[in-house]
Structure 1
Amino acid sequence: MCRTLATFPNTCLERAKEFKTRLGIFLHKSELSSDTGGISKFEWATKHSKERSFSEDVLGWKDSFDFLLNSKNGVAAFHAFLKTEFSEENLEFWLACEEFKKIRSATKLASRAHHIFDEYIRSEAPKEVNIDHETRELTKTNLQAATTSCFDVAQGKTRTLMEKDSYPRFLKSPAYRDLAAQASATSTSASNSSPAEPSHT
Structure 2
Amino acid sequence: MCRTLATFPNTCLERAKEFKTRLGIFLHKSELSSESGSLGKFEWASKHCKERSFSEDVLGWRESFDLLLSSKNGVAAFHAFLKTEFSEENLEFWLACEEFKKIRSAAKLASQAHRIFDEYIRSEAPKEVNIDHETRELTKTNLQAATASCFDVAQGKTRTLMEKDSYPRFLKSPAYRDLAAQASATSSPASSSSPAAEPSHT
TM-score by length of structure 1 reads 0.74
Q: Is the 8 A contact 1:119 1:126 kept in 2?
A: yes
Q: Which moved more, 1:190-199 or 1:40-49?
A: 190-199
Q: Percent identity?
A: 91
Q: Is the 8 A contact 2:122 2:136 kept in 1?
A: yes
**Residues 69 and 19 of structure 1: is their aligned pair in 2 closer, same or farther, counting only changes over 3 Å?**
same
- Return the offset for 1:191: 2.4
- Distance in 1 (CA, whole Å) between partners of 2:8 and 2:116 is 31
**Residues 135 and 39 of structure 1: is their aligned pair in 2 closer, same or farther, counting only changes over 3 Å?**
closer
- Distance in 2 (CA, whole Å) between partners of 1:15 and 1:119 is 40
What is the DSSP-based 3-state SS (H/G/I as helix, E as strand, rest coil) of the residue aligned with 2:45? helix
Q: Give the paired residue count.
A: 201
* 2:171 maps to 1:171: yes
Please state which structure has a larger fraction of its residues in helix.
1
- Distance in 2 (CA, whole Å) between partners of 1:36 and 1:147 is 19
**Residues 14 and 82 of structure 1: is their aligned pair in 2 closer, same or farther, counting only changes over 3 Å?**
farther
1:91-139 CA distance string (max 9 Å, x none): 0000000000000000000000000000000000000000000000000
Q: Which moved more, 1:120-129 or 1:48-57?
A: 48-57
- Return the offset for 1:179: 0.1
Q: Is the 8 A contact 1:68 1:74 kept in 2?
A: yes
- Return the offset for 1:188: 1.4
Q: Which moved more, 1:152-161 or 1:75-84?
A: 75-84
Q: Is the 8 A contact 2:56 2:187 kept in 1?
A: yes
Q: Is the 8 A contact 1:97 1:151 kept in 2?
A: yes
- Return the offset for 1:189: 2.3
Q: Is the 8 A contact 1:12 1:84 kept in 2?
A: no
- Distance in 1 (CA, whole Å) between partners of 2:7 and 2:51 is 39
Q: Is the 8 A contact 1:55 1:187 kept in 2?
A: yes
- Return the offset for 1:43: 3.4
**Residues 5 and 168 of structure 1: is their aligned pair in 2 closer, same or farther, counting only changes over 3 Å?**
farther
- Where structure 2 has 5 or more consecutive residues not aligned to the other structure, the ranges are none
Name the residue aligned to 1:200: 201
**Residues 6 and 41 of structure 1: is their aligned pair in 2 closer, same or farther, counting only changes over 3 Å?**
closer
1:135-161 CA distance string (max 9 Å, x none): 000000000000000000000000000
What is the DSSP-based 3-state SS (H/G/I as helix, E as strand, rest coil) of the residue aligned with 1:29? coil
What is the DSSP-based 3-state SS (H/G/I as helix, E as strand, rest coil) of the residue aligned with 1:32? coil
Deviating beyond 4 angstroms after TM superposition, the runs of 4 or more aligned structure 1 residues are 1-22, 24-40, 44-52, 192-201
**Residues 191 and 139 of structure 1: is their aligned pair in 2 closer, same or farther, counting only changes over 3 Å?**
same
What is the DSSP-based 3-state SS (H/G/I as helix, E as strand, rest coil) of the residue aligned with 2:51? coil
- Return the offset for 1:23: 0.5
**Residues 29 and 92 of structure 1: is their aligned pair in 2 closer, same or farther, counting only changes over 3 Å?**
closer
**Residues 39 and 116 of structure 1: is their aligned pair in 2 closer, same or farther, counting only changes over 3 Å?**
closer
**Residues 89 and 6 of structure 1: is their aligned pair in 2 closer, same or farther, counting only changes over 3 Å?**
farther
**Residues 34 and 151 of structure 1: is their aligned pair in 2 closer, same or farther, counting only changes over 3 Å?**
closer
**Residues 9 and 44 of structure 1: is their aligned pair in 2 closer, same or farther, counting only changes over 3 Å?**
closer
Name the residue aligned to 1:7: 7
What is the DSSP-based 3-state SS (H/G/I as helix, E as strand, rest coil) of the residue aligned with 1:186? helix
TM-score by length of structure 2 reads 0.74
Q: Is the 8 A contact 2:26 2:80 kept in 1?
A: no
- Where structure 1 has 5 or more consecutive residues not aligned to the other structure, the ranges are none
What is the DSSP-based 3-state SS (H/G/I as helix, E as strand, rest coil) of the residue aligned with 1:188? helix
